[in-house]
Amino acid sequence: METLHADLLVIGFGKGGKTLAATMGRAGRRVVMVEQSALMYGGTCINIGCVPTKALIHRAAARPADADPGKWYADSVASTATLTSVMRDKNFRMLDTLDSVTVVTGTATFLDDHRVEVVAGADRLEFSADTIVINTGAENVVADIPGLRDSAHLVTGTELIASPDMPRRLAVIGAGYQGLEFAAMLRSYGTEVTVLESTERILPREDDDVAQAVREILEGEGVTFVTSARVTRVEDTDDGAAVVHYEAGGTRQSVGADAVLAATGRAPRTAGLGLEAAGVRTTARGAVEVDEHLRSSRPHIYAVGDVNGGPQFTYISLDDHRIVADQLLGTGQRTTTDRVGVPYTLFMTPPLARVGLTETAARAAGHSVRVAAKAVANMMAMPRAAIVGDTRGLMKFVMDAETDEILGAAILSVDAQELVNTVALAMRTHTTAATLRDSIWTHPSSTEAFNEVLATIVR
C-alpha cells in the first residue's frame, strides 16, 4: 500500500482541528483532515452540541400559545436539522476549497507515531505526517445502572435532539449542566420532566444560593427534582415505556418515562485510535495526556479539544488551535496557562453564566473576599429585564477584598451569556469591580445592572 505524506494530519473535524487545518493550509502546508463520519464535518458543536440544542431552545421560546406541542417540536427538530446541514456543508467547503488540504472520510488508526491508516468500507489508505493532531472529541457516558444500557428508551443528548418524537415523559439522570439544559428545553415544549441527582443538590459545583435560584426557576416551569437519589435499575414495560427505580429519603420509589436521558457526563473519545502503537500516553480518564503546549508524550503529536481532558467547550478547542499554531508557525510561547477568566453558560431561560471562582472555592483557596449579590427582581437599574418580561434570577460577584479585582461571578438573568464576557474581560485585564460599578453603560441594557449590584456588598 502506498503511503501518502503530509506536513500535518488532523484526526477529527472539530473546532480546533478544522481551524488549525485551514490555518496551515493557507500557509501552504500540505494538510490531510480525516473525519470518521460525513455527518460530523464541523465537529460536535454544530452537529450534535451547541448549535442544535440552542436552536431548539430558541424555537421552544418562540412557540405560539395555540401551537400543538408535538407538531411544533417535530418542526423544530426538522428546521434544526436543516440548519446543521447547511453549517456542515460550509465547514466541509471551508477546507475542501483549499488546494493544499485534503478531506478524507474514514476511521483512523495509528500504525506508529508517524503513520495512520484510514479505513472506509473496503478502501484503505495510509498516511504519514510530520505533525499529527488528535481532535476526536468526547462521547456521552452511560452510567453502569442495571437495565439502563439495554433499555429501548435510553437516549443521550445526541439521540434526543435528532428524534422528531417529543417524549411525553422524560427522566433525566444527572443534574449537571447537560442534564438541566435538556430538562429546561424539553419542559418548555411541554414534556413532563423528572431530574434524578445523586448528590444533595443540583449543580454541585456551584454555590448553594446560585444552585437554589436555578432550581426555583426550573421548578417554577414544572420540572420535578429528586436529589440524593440513587438510581437502582431501569426496566422496560409491556406498554412501551420505562420505569426508573431509585432510592431517596430512605424509601424505594420509581418514575415512569417514555425516554431516559443519561446525562452523567462525557468522556474523551480515544478508543480504537491505536494510541499505544504511537506511544501516546492517556490519563486515567482516557484523555490524551498533554503538556501546556498540548504536546502528547510524542512531541510531534498534539491533542486539541475535548479529547485532551481540558474544559469541554468549543471556544477552548479554538484556543487550543492557537497554541498549536503558535508551535508550528509562530514563536511557541502560547500555553494553556495563559488562560484567565474562561466563562461558560447553562442555556436555560434565563441563562446561567459563570466565570472564575465561586464564593465557596475562593474562600477554600484562602482568599479574603467580598461578595456583592442581588436578585434581578429587586434591581432598579436593570429595566431591560422588566421590558422583556423576565425578572427572575440573580447576579453575584466575588471580589478580592484587598485588590478589588473580580475572582468570579455568577449571572443568572436575561442576557447572562453576553454579560459574562464583559466580566471575563475585566478579569483578564485586572479591571477592578469598582471600575465596572462606576462605568457608563447604555440604557436600557442588562449591563447597567453592574452599576447597582456591585454597589451592594452583602458579605
pLDDT digits (tens, 9 = 90+) for 399-457: 999 999 999 999 999 999 999 999 999 999 999 999 999 999 999 999 999 999 999 98
Q: Is the pLDDT reported for residue 381 higher than 90?
A: no
SS (H, E, C) the chain: CCEEEEEEEEECCCHHHHHHHHHHHHCCCCEEEEECCHHHCCCHHHHHCHHHHHHHHHHHHCCCCCCCHHHHHHHHHHHHHHHHHHHHHHHHHHHHCCCCEEEEECEEEECCCCEEEEEECCEEEEEEEEEEEECCCEEECCCCCCCCCCCCCEECHHHHCCCCCCCCEEEEECCCHHHHHHHHHHHHHCCEEEEECCCCCCCCCCCHHHHHHHHHHHHHCCCEEECCCEEEEEEECCCCCEEEEEEECCEEEEEEECEEEECCCEEECCCCCCHHHHCCCECCCCCECCCCCCECCCCCEEECHHHHCCCCCHHHHHHHHHHHHHHHHCCCCCCHHHCCCCCEEECCCCCEEEEECCHHHHHHCCCCEEEEEEEHHHCCCCHHHHHCCCCCCEEEEEEECCCCEEEEEEEECCCHHHHHHHHHHHHHCCCEHHHHHHCCCCCCCCCCHHHHHCCCECC
Question: What's the whole-number mean pLDDT along residues 273-293?
Answer: 97
- pLDDT value for 232: 97
Kindly report the CATH number that applies to the domain delimited by 154-262: 3.50.50.60
Task: Decide yes or no: CATH 3.50.50.60 for domain 3-138+266-338.
Answer: yes
Q: Do domains 154-262 and 344-453 have the same CATH topology?
A: no
Q: Which residues are catalytic?
A: 443
Question: What's the whole-number mean pLDDT along residues 133-148?
Answer: 96
Kindly report the CATH number that applies to the domain delimited by 344-453: 3.30.390.30
Q: Give me the residue spans of the domains in the chain.
A: 3-138+266-338, 154-262, 344-453
Higher pLDDT, 330 or 381: 330
| % of the chain with per-residue pLDDT over 90 | 95
Q: Is the pLDDT reported for residue 268 higher than 80?
A: yes
